[in-house]
Amino acid sequence: MARFRSFFRIFPVVALAAALLALIASGAAAETGEAPAPKPPLVPHALAGYKMSPTVNDCLTCHGPATAAKAATKAASDAHFVHRDGARIDKLLATRVYCNQCHLPAPDAKPLAATGDRP
């Protein structure tokens, strides 16, 4: 029991030290001019029922390079189709197949009205 008491006595000190280190690190990053990593855009609609796999990706129905203009949406960026070595491929990179791995629905995202909303 004494072990637990001593742990809870030092826990606030450890938490404060961690917070101070994080604050110092963020200040050091600001001084060196390092920009925070860009965040992927949020999805303005719910993703429930969307299929995402190496063979089927419902997001590309509206956001594929060939369909975005017709659907009046933003196309997936070239980063989703270009290897690190600069070679462009015609399908999504294997690391970019699951869109919701990076792109999360906005907190107020509502489902699209009907499947007819998709081109």
- Round to whole Å and give the CA distance between 102 and 60: 15
d(CA 63, CA 70): 10
Q: Is 63 exposed, middle or buried (0-12, 13-18, 19+ CB in 10 A)?
A: buried
Q: For residue 8, give the 3-state DSSP assignment.
A: helix
1 Cβ partners below 8 Å, 6+ apart?
none
Q: Return d(Cα 60, Cα 68) in angstroms, integer.
A: 8
The tens place of each residue's pLDDT in the chain, 119 residues long, gives 555 555 556 656 666 667 666 767 666 555 666 777 788 999 999 998 899 999 999 999 999 999 999 999 999 999 999 998 999 998 899 999 999 999 999 999 998 866 555 54
| Pair 94, 67 in one domain | yes
Same structural domain for residues 23 and 53? no
Residue 83 is part of a domain; what is its CATH number? 1.10.1130.10
Q: Does residue 118 lie within any of the structural domains? A: no
- Determine, yes or no, domain membership for 117: no
> Model pTM greater than 0.95?
no
**Domain limits for position 59:** 43-112
Q: Are residues 4 and 62 in the same domain?
A: no
